[in-house]
Amino acid sequence: MKHFLSLEHSDAATLESILKQAALFKQQRSRCPQVLAGQHWALIFAKSSTRTRVSFEVGISELGGRVMFLSSADIQLGRGEPIEDTARVLGRMVHGAVIRTFAQRDVEVFAAQSGIPTINALTDDEHPCQIVADLQTIAERLGSWQGKRVAFLGDGDCNVARSWIWASAHLGFELSIGAPPAFAPAADFMQRLPTGTVKISHDPREAVAGADVVYTDVWVSMGKEAESQERLEALAPWQVNAALMQNAKPAALVMHCLPAYRGKEISAEVLEAHAPVIFEQAENRLHAQKAIMAHCVS
């Protein structure tokens, strides 16, 4: 039994093994091993979701398991029952849990107290399942992430950016985070990284120079709505648009975890031009997460 709580505490061998399995699951979708047969899994979500919820629900079913979706607003967790108690109850009833919430500590406490495989489906600190699907997409499109340069633009301290940073630290591809100083990765976070892992740039053109992949995410992450105005103003020069893409490699991929806000972090023109890759990323959530669940129960 294993958990999948962060990329920070993952390693290259584990990620490579999950990605190999994800590619097989994609090739053989109709012949899926029933590794969750006889199991019930709970999805406990305290934030909105389209892709993550649907891909986990379909993925659990395709692996032979049954799923229950628990909005935290509908269970006692939303009325203040401690995560420790929720974990100890669910651990006696279900076989695995997928959690989307605010504090990273909550998924870690749930994993420790429940005794069942626990998967981080997004916290304020990380979005590890997203980056596994993104790496699968890069491998399909570019052959490998090895030797590639990824540029992440926007809120460089958000969950998606942080998971990218850990992926780069483990797998060794080049990563530049392009963000204004107020939205660069936090100093205490950077101290946890091996030195030289990530290049920080405060100039959008410099950040994407020579990039094989230009990646962006929403400027206002869930839970940051009170800062919307400040974020939209500070991040406006960081839009991924056709003019900026002139500075990346000519065949560079544009990637977005979605949902996308056209005219904010990405222009409508660039999003539509790169829609085949962006929606492949979304599909790969299904295959990647099936591989993550298979890893957790192995």
Which residues belong to the active site? 100, 127, 130, 217, 257, 285
Site string for ligand CP, 168-197 (x = CB under 6 A): ------------------------------
Distances (CA, A) of 124 to 68, 81, 104, 222, 261: 23, 20, 7, 8, 20
Q: Which is nearer to ligand NVA, 122 or 165 (CB)?
A: 122
Among candidate residues 222, 189, 217, the one with its CA nearest the CA of residue 123: 222
Question: Residue 24's closest CA among 215, 295, 296, 257?
Answer: 295
Select the residue interacting with ligand NVA from 159, 239, 247, 267 (CB under 6 A).
Answer: 159
For ligand CP, which stretch binds (CB under 6 A), given 21-29, 49-57, 79-87, 243-251? 49-57
- Residue 256, strand partner residues: 216
Our CB check for ligand CP shows the closer of 2 and 47 to be 47
* 46 near ligand CP, judged by CB under 6 A: no
Is residue 221 near ligand NVA by the rule CB under 6 A? yes
The answer to whether the CB of 198 falls within 8 A of the CB of 177 is yes
Identify the burial level of 116 via C-beta atoms within 10 angstroms of its C-beta, where 0-12 means exposed, 13-18 middle and 19 or more buried. buried
**Among the residue ranges 48-56, 79-87, 192-200, 272-280, the one whose residues contact ligand CP (CB under 6 A):** 48-56
Q: Is 49 in the site for ligand CP (CB under 6 A)?
A: yes
CA 269 to chain CA centroid, Å, is 24
Residue of minimal CB distance from ligand CP? 52
Residue written as token pair 């809120």 = 155
Beta strands (DSSP E) in 46-148 are: 66-71, 96-100, 118-120
Residue 159 interacting with ligand CP (CB under 6 A): no
Per-residue mark of binding to ligand CP, 98-137 (x: CB under 6 A): ------------------------x-------x-------
Amino acid letter for position 231: R
**Residue in 198, 206, 207 with CA at minimum distance from that of residue 172:** 198
Q: Does 58 engage in binding with ligand NVA (CB under 6 A)?
A: no
Nearer to ligand CP, 213 or 247 (CB): 213
Q: Which residues bind ligand CP (CB under 6 A)?
A: 49-52, 122, 130, 257-258
